Amino acid sequence: MFKRINILPQWAIFFIDIFICIISLFIAYLVKGDLSFTLISKSIFLKNAFILVCICTPVFIFLKTYAGIIRLTTIQDTFKIFIAVTLINSGFIAIYFIASVFFHKSFISITTLVINGFVEFVLLIVYRLAIKHFFSYFKNLKVESKDIVIYGASEEGITTKRTLELDPKTQNRIVAFIDDDIAKTRKSIDGARIFHSSDFLYLIQNEHVDELIIATTVLSTEKKNEIVDICLDKGIKVMLTPPVKEWINGQLSVRQIHDIRIEELLGREPIHIHNEIIDAQIRNKRILVTGASGSIGNEIVRQLARFNPSTIILVDMGETALYESELIYSEHFSANVFRYFIADVRDYGRMESIFKECAPHYVYHAAAYKHVPLMELHPYEAVATNVIGTKNVADLALKYGVQKFVMISSDKSVNPTNVMGATKRIAEIYVQSLYNHKIKEIGNENISESNKAEKINSVTKFITTRFGNVLGSNGSVIPRFRTQISQGGPVTVTHPDISRYFMTIPEACQLVLEAGSMGKGGEIFVFNMGKLVKITDLARKMIRLSGLTPGVDIDIKFTGLRPGEKLHEELLTTEENTIPTYHDQILIARVREYDYAEVEEDINILIGLIGSVKSETEIVKMMKKMIPEYLSNNSIYESLDQPLKQGK
């Protein structure tokens, strides 16, 4: 029945308002007459009631007090009622004075009008609130009920409360607010008391709480993790309100309030980059991005687009991925900003045609094979893409006068234990030695110092960036765990003690752009990756965030280290140290310098092995010769290290 009559028609509200105004006038007369019915003149009352209706009707029509949905009455409706009551009684007073001055008649007292105005306002509001709670009560009889605490008593928190209370699918009761501002403590918002964050444990121990919603963006990651851990221990679900900038047309929707994700607990404090420096370098430039449809390449393109380059050239060998990128960018950016090329960085001729046609000012080289176990089985492909592909793009950048070449490397290049890491280290060595060689060449030329400085300044600046795992990248551990949990488990972890560094994709790409802007040439930039995260702890937390219990609802299964896999990643070798930069999240690694002639000779041997399709063991053996610290782990190539280990 109440589902069918869930909104009162406007004509009904209009006549109820008129009736209440008449009742209010009667109560005013009654109060004025010391609650005696005999003192009320029926003829005078009826005459004044008629005048009242004549005043109320145009006022209600003008202000449209009847147009609101009563069960959704808000403070704005209360204000509208106040204006209506003020106008009605002002009209009555005006008529009273006109009658007194011109007709010398007093048909109603000012006291009665004051009482009438007060009673009128109260009854018009009270009946609306009564109907609102009446509908709410019957609506919620069979609706799920939740007791919620909101962390954050700012505008975001208040909006979250009101949005939840309007949710037709759930009866949400806001138990309290939590806030770090002690000045707000013991106050209340819409009847919900504000507690200080230090009282959080007391609150959840003494109140029934189903959910905690974090509705603030100023909470540190450390504090957020602490709160989530407490809630998980108490069986309280944790949700998160998105930042205001992500609200739909400035309005928060219940559907936007989502379960807190592991990525939001692993992210660090916001990274501040020098946008004005990057903007000055990128604006109106032509920029080429290889691997442009991969996780990192795609985010680099997105961030570059904010700095208004003249053209972004997207190069990727994946047709479907590049097509999807084109569809997405065409919706959000001007179509003439982007150019798309299906091309393989291993194909020198194809890449040269792109350089010749597009003449890029900057190159961001993100194309690479990155999956350790697969590359351990396919050294040929790893070398062909990660080494030869990088050499091709670097050589072309130098040949066609590119201003800066920024290469995306990996922490797996440090003391590599696998083919993938070794190929990335060789790529680093080639790029750095190529730059140093070119600078030395100019230094040995028989020209003036000013001409030397000018030529050095015009040489392509080769810059390498090195960082660890990125959260949510293609094939990374978090999406895999999420899928395994949704399928009922088990969650597979290779080793109980395995740990990794993590960084979000936007964080990593912000730092890539910053490092690219500050690089002078020849540097290997290392990012502050924070703390090592144990993968087992990560798996347990993801299971608990899903509302399940590790070892009870979802098992964790240890499968053993995969070929080439390390227990712990490193960002620097034991022989390296760092130099600080002006950005506290970016350091420059001091690394051994290699002779370009030797590096070129070794890489040409690798190219020959690839060209003649020699056995992959020979390819790996050559890489181990180039990188003495490359010792295979849990791999078929460990036997190649035996002579070296025996020699030690």
Structure tokens that stand for 303 in this block: 């961030």
Mean pLDDT over residues 193-207, rounded? 87
Domain coordinates in residue numbering, the chain: 10-138, 143-260, 281-471+503-526+575-626
Cα–Cα distance, 283 to 304 (Å, whole number)? 9
Model confidence at 3, in pLDDT bands (50, 70, 90)?
very low
Indicate whether this model's pTM tops 0.85: no
Cβ proximity of 471 and 531 under 8 Å: no
Dihedral angle sign, alpha carbons of residues 518, 442, 345, 429: negative
CATH classification of 143-260, choosing from 3.40.50.720, 3.40.50.10810, 3.40.50.300, 2.30.29.30? 3.40.50.720
Non-local (6+) Cβ contacts of 374 within 8 A are none
Sign of the alpha-carbon torsion through 641, 643, 644, 647: positive
Q: What is the pLDDT of residues 281-327, one digit of tens each?
A: 999 999 999 999 988 999 999 999 989 899 999 999 999 999 998 88
pLDDT(474) > 60: yes
The pLDDT of residue 5 is: 47
Distance from chain centroid for Cα 459: 38
pLDDT for 274 equals 74
Q: Which residues contact 570 (CB under 8 A, 6 or more apart)?
A: 411, 414, 415
| Segment 451-460 mean pLDDT | 86
How high does pLDDT run on average in the chain? 83
Q: What residues have CB less than 8 Å from 444, skipping those under 6 apart?
A: none
Q: Do domains 143-260 and 281-471+503-526+575-626 have the same CATH topology?
A: yes
Q: Which tens digits make up the pLDDT trace of 230-263? A: 888 888 888 888 888 778 777 888 888 888 888 7
- For residues 210 and 422, the model is more confident at 422
Q: What percent of the chain has pLDDT over 70?
A: 87
Q: What is the CA radius of gyration of the chain?
A: 36
Please name the fold of domain 281-471+503-526+575-626: Rossmann fold (3.40.50)
Please tell me the predicted confidence (pLDDT) of residue 24.
Answer: 80
One-letter amino acid for residue 343 of the chain: A
